[in-house]
Amino acid sequence: MPRETPVCSEDVFSRESVRNARTVDDALRELAPVVRLSRENITMIGRYEHVAASLKDWRTFSSRSRPWHDPDSVRPEILLVDDPPRHTQVRNIVSNALSPRALSRMAESFRADADALLREVKQRSGTAIDVVQEITQAFVYKVLPDLLGLPKAGREHLYAFGHMVWATLGPQNELFAEAMQNTGPVIAWVDQCCNRENLDPEGLGMQMFRAADEGQITEPEAKLLIQVLLSAAADTTVMTAATALRAFSLFPEQYQLLRAEPGLAKDAFEESLRWDSPSRMAGRITTREVQIEGYVVPSGERCGLMFAAANRDPRKWSDPDRFDIRRDNRGHVGWGYGLHACVGRVLAVLEAEALLGACIRHIERFEPAGEPAPWMTAIGHGPVKLPLVITAAAA
């Protein structure tokens, strides 16, 4: 006989739950391998073994539909909601544009931008600053649109656009309504800046239109792909880098280890993704009945695969709440996993290596200066404000 799936009646996507997302998500994971949310009418899967397996099995856990999926939302509808063969065709275009070889020429530009930023920031030595606004967001919101070849006018809308897009991944609750306030100017900017005639001919965005010229995708799809990159590649990197700086303030010995061994920058970024992932979950829909440790997930069930909870599952990770840049964190699901793993991984790592490299050169230590303010979206996760005291490194 199938085991009876536990039912959770609490609102795990409320404002208060977002403020306490780590505790809420970990509690769901420990309740059972499969938990049904009665308010949302979806099933949550939170243990590492099952999340990783589900992400690999795209035929069973399809991306074509998911919790709260609205094809008419402001989110660009391409790639994220496709399965093969269409997903493969479109993903290859983006993967080629974001390959290590294609991005290698950008590494020096990223380092120069990061170094200039941190030289300015370190002048505030001894004071508390919001490292999201002044470091991680300032960096990513410059280098990403520069890479895409977007015009400089209107970039102040980047945060609101990302907030809107991430809000569409969750329920249409109070947080969703807040993110959708006064969206007209933001949507107008995104629509205009991603048009072919407004892009730098040498930018990555124009490569999407060249793929359209070659008949691989349509012109509207090329524009959608630029918008996907603009939304998906911005705030996840902002939040993950900010989470790393928060971890360095809480585990100062790890920051000193990184300063002593700068080659660990990529490992530090990967550990940040594992320690407090920027996405609480990914949505899927089952195409057949699935059994997980005696629990049955029916066919056609919309599911939440819980990235953050899986990445802190003590069945997989020893001392999971400890931030350890020497940890063997291979297999963490902070990038997603399998077919829909983050297509911008190479780009994010290059950005992180540049930014963390500049931090260790110019900042001796980060110290807590108050509680972080969480990003108020149901699914996106990380500090939107993070006050830390910085101490400049000796010249």
Range of 165-169, 220-224, 239-243 with top mean pLDDT: 239-243
271: enclosing H helix or E strand? helix 265-275
The pair phi, psi for residue 106, each rounded to 5°, is: -85, -15
The contacts of residue 53 (CB under 8 Å, 6+ apart) are: none
Question: Domain extents for the chain?
Answer: 7-392
Contact 304, 55 (CB under 8 A): no
Helix/strand number for the chain, H first, E second: 18, 13
The contacts of residue 243 (CB under 8 Å, 6+ apart) are: 272, 275, 276, 278, 382, 383
% the chain with pLDDT above 70 = 96
Gap between the Cα atoms of 348 and 356, Å rounded = 12
pLDDT tens-digit map of 46-61:
999 999 999 999 999 9
Terminal CA-to-CA distance of the chain, rounded, Å? 69
Q: Which of 274, 204, 280, 252 is nearest to 266 (CA)?
A: 274
Contact 23, 312 (CB under 8 A): no
Q: Report pLDDT for 375.
A: 95
The pair phi, psi for residue 43, each rounded to 5°, is: -110, 135
Say if domain 7-392 classifies as CATH 1.10.630.10.
yes
pTM for the complete prediction? Answer: 0.94
Gap between the Cα atoms of 64 and 181, Å rounded = 28
Mean pLDDT for the stretch of residues 129-140: 98
Longest pairwise C-alpha distance within the chain = 69
